[in-house]
Every structure is written in structure tokens, then in C-alpha cells.
Amino acid sequence: MTWNLNDLFNNNNKTCLILLNCPINNWDLFNRLWSTASLKICLDGGANRLLEASRKHSNPSNYLPDYIIGDFDSITEESRSFYNNDVTLIKDEDEYSTDYMKSFKLIPLDHSVVTFGGLSGRIDQTIHTLYYTRKEQVKRDLPICIVSENNVAISLSPGHHTIQLKTDTFGKCCGVLPIGTKSAKITTKGLKWDLGGPGLEETGFDSMISTSNHLDSETIEIETDEYIYFNVEFKNDFL
């Protein structure tokens, strides 16, 4: 598979943006993802974040998601009444699935997914984001990217991946993260410290995890036998 991470910001008619209940500190970044997405879903308190940020930076009537879904313990009355007429609100009080899990029921399998937020804040929520993103990745051939304030994590299925990224958007720091798997055999090309050579055949919590690695090319090749994440930082002056 070839993933062009610059496509995060290019128009694509089958991309879903999921807005979690996380701060929108970088309106420009959020706005670029919003303009790219064809389907937009707010999770519960994510609607408050959208209303607040779009009021501050623009006109909230131009920022209407397709759905707001969740148990509605976080959405305010004000957000509810603002979005009530134009947006489909789905209240689902199931106590055995999170709002993030509920949102994927609305996303066709032929859509790529960009999750905005979910990597910082409460650690149980962060682990849940990584856990459930992988569960959904198993069902899809298209990527799920988790975009947070300063970096993007892309979920990779077993196989060979070519990741393209431009140095005007992405900084050099990156990681190859075997999260949710005991160990993985990974080979890479295009990183300063490539995996796969002597002493670096295996990656996992019992062996070695490649963090604080650096991009050495605008094309990165990753071959993995397990589901993993690859993360890369946004460039400082891009943010």
C-alpha cells in the first residue's frame, strides 16, 4: 500500500473526520482537515469544542457536522440546541461501547478515516483510541490516521507500506510503534536508524521499540508482520 500523508490535506471525496472531545488548539490544522473531509462526525463533547472554536475563528453555521453521536453526557444544552435543526443527533447510551466505537457504525468501509484528537489527555482514553483504531483498521484497506496537536499516528496493517510525506509539512521525529502486539518483525527504509538489520530484527515491549527516530527521506518503506503504528511530528512552522 502507498500512503501519501500529504493527502490528509487534499480534497478526497471519501474521507471521514471524527472530532473527539479534545481541544482544537490549532484552528488552521483543524480547518484544513475539515475542508478535506466528505463526512464529519462529532463525538458528544466534541460538539462543544467545534461550536466554541468555530465561533472564535469563523461562523459556526459554516461548520455543521453530519452527525453528533454519543451518550450525551458531555454535550451542553447550548450545543444541542445550536446543532439540533441541521445535524443528525444520535443518542446512544450503551455503557459497553465508547463514543469512539459508536461513531464507526456510521462510517462506510470505503472511507479513509481521520481521527482528530485522542492521543493526549486521559491515558485510558488514549489507550482506547489506539486499541479501537486498530480494531477498525483490521476491517479496512484504507488508512486510519490519528491527528493530534503536534503529530500524526498512522495505523498500519501487516504487509508492505510506502509512506510519502513532504518535509515542508512534517518534522523529522518519528516512531515505529508495536502497540497492541507482543512483538513484530519490521524492516524499514528511509529512516536514520532503519529497523531490520542485525540486533534490530524484532521490535516489541520485550525487545526494542524505535522511538525518537528521524526521517531521512520523503519516502519511507515499512514492512511489518503485525499491526503497528507509525508516528511523525508536524513541522513547527507548519503548526
Ligand X SMILES: Cc1ncc(C[n+]2csc(CCO)c2C)c(N)n1
- In terms of CB distance, is 121 or 180 closer to ligand ATP? 121
For residue 20, what are the CA distances in angstroms to 35, 48, 98, 147? 17, 10, 11, 11
- In terms of CB distance, is 99 or 194 closer to ligand X? 99
* Residue 98 binds ligand X (CB under 6 A): yes
Q: How far is the CB of 101 from ligand X (least distance, A)?
A: 8
Interface pick for ligand ATP out of 65, 118, 175, 178 (rule CB under 6 A)? 118
* Residue 43 binds ligand ATP (CB under 6 A): yes
* Inter-residue contact 188 to 194 (CB < 8 Å): yes
* Residue 71 binds ligand X (CB under 6 A): yes
Interface pick for ligand X out of 13, 81, 85, 95 (rule CB under 6 A)? 95
Q: Measured at CB, which residue is nearest to ligand X?
A: 95
Interface pick for ligand ATP out of 74, 169, 181, 217 (rule CB under 6 A)? 74
Interface pick for ligand ATP out of 82, 83, 100, 229 (rule CB under 6 A)? 100
Q: How far is the CB of 174 from ligand ATP (least distance, A)?
A: 21
34: its cell numbers: 475539515
* Residue 224 binds ligand X (CB under 6 A): no
Q: Which does 178 bind (CB under 5 to 8 A by kind): ligand ATP, ligand X, none?
A: none
Q: Which does 81 bind (CB under 5 to 8 A by kind): ligand X, ligand ATP, none?
A: none
Rounded distance between C-alpha atoms, residue 107 and residue 165, angstroms: 26
Q: Which stretch binds ligand X (CB under 6 A): 5-13, 16-24, 77-85, 96-104?
A: 96-104
Question: How does DSSP assign the chain, residue by residue?
Answer: -EEEGGGGGS--TTEEEEE-SS----HHHHHHHHHH-SEEEEETTHHHHHHHHHHHHS-GGG---SEEEE--SSS-HHHHHHHTTTSEEEE---TTS-HHHHHHTTS-TTSEEEEES-SSS-HHHHHHHHHHHHHHHTT-SS-EEEE-SSEEEEEE-SEEEEEE--TTTEEEEEEEE-TTSSEEEEEEESBTT-SSSTT-SEEETTS--EEEEEB-SSEEEEEESS-EEEEEEEPTTT-
- In terms of CB distance, is 119 or 156 closer to ligand ATP? 119
Q: How far is the CB of 98 from ligand X (least distance, A)?
A: 5
Beta bridge partners of 185: 202
Q: Which stretch binds ligand ATP (CB under 6 A): 26-34, 78-86, 124-132, 167-175?
A: 124-132
* Residue 97 binds ligand X (CB under 6 A): yes
Residue numbers of the site for ligand X (CB under 6 A)? 71, 95-99
